[in-house]
Amino acid sequence: MDDFRQARWYVVRPAGNRKPATYRCPLCGGLLPALRGHMLVLPEGDAPRRRHAHTSCVMKARRDGRLPLREEIEPPRPGLLARLLRRG
């Protein structure tokens, strides 16, 4: 779990899981039934390191600044048109 907390940025999205499993939220340590609405959190976008987390825990961590998103840390790359215009 330490590796999860050491990420510079995260990707957060709603989870769509229908299997009867139980996960442990990496943010609060509490149990999380998969059939209940929750979020997937991917440290630095790395799918193998993804964790299932309570929606309320994700929202609190975001408010507290503990779960920065990629677009908040790394500026977006210029689009194709902007790159082509820059060459000209």
Residue length of the chain = 88
Q: Is the model more confident about 66 or about 79?
A: 66
**C-alpha distance across the termini of the chain, in Å:** 48
Query: Is residue 88 very low, low, confident or very high in pLDDT (cuts 50, 70, 90)?
Result: low
CB contact at 8 A, 41 and 10: yes
% the chain with pLDDT above 70: 97
Encode 18-56: b = buried (16+ Cβ within 10 Å), e = exposed. Answer: eeeeebebbbeeeebeeeeebbbbbbeeeeeebbbbbee
Can you tell me which residue has the tokens 């939220």? Answer: 25
